[in-house]
Amino acid sequence: MLCVIAKLDELATETLAAVQKIAFSDFTPSNPLHGHITLATYIGDNETEFVQFCKHLFAGLSSFAVEYKRIEVLEGNSDSAPIIVASPERAGLLEEVHRRIAAAYDGSLNQWTQTGSWYPHTTLLYKPGVDLHPICCKMAASFVPFSTQIRKIEFSRVLESGYDIIEQVELPA
């Protein structure tokens, strides 16, 4: 599984980590916040071709703005537990980049990043078996909407022990 992620800058990651810490009065964090938005998760069999397609797409891009507007619970399904997320607006180049990747590779993307299913977000808390709604309300009460620039896109391979960044593309200002 290979993820294409829009990497948040340090200030945006720190801002979301501060909101995330509200939950730590009840829980110990399992991992530090990896500030990103997943654009696509490729599960096909030609990663090299997929990466080359994406890099060609990104070659014409400049850094772009993303507007974080809310903190919310994304309900899970039979395969996954609910999570608390910070949700950016699904608009502008963020949406356009996803649309272009999905137009070419929709059948090779996982169920969460295919056309019609993709919901951009940054995960703040995953804690199976816990009612996340009260925690989300606390987080949302301290959240102030903000804008950030996406200046880097990374390709990361999902491993059992985490992830491995295999390539990255810097987006010029």
pTM (predicted TM-score):
0.90
Distance CA 150, CA 142 (A): 23
Distance CA 144, CA 68 (A): 9
Q: Is the dihedral of CA 106, 111, 51, 66 positive or negative?
A: positive
Tens-level pLDDT at each residue, the chain (173 residues): 999 999 999 999 999 999 988 877 666 656 678 899 999 999 999 999 999 999 999 998 999 999 999 999 998 766 778 999 999 999 999 999 999 999 999 999 999 999 999 999 999 988 888 899 999 999 999 999 999 999 999 999 988 888 899 999 999 98
4 near 155, Cβ under 8 Å?
A: yes
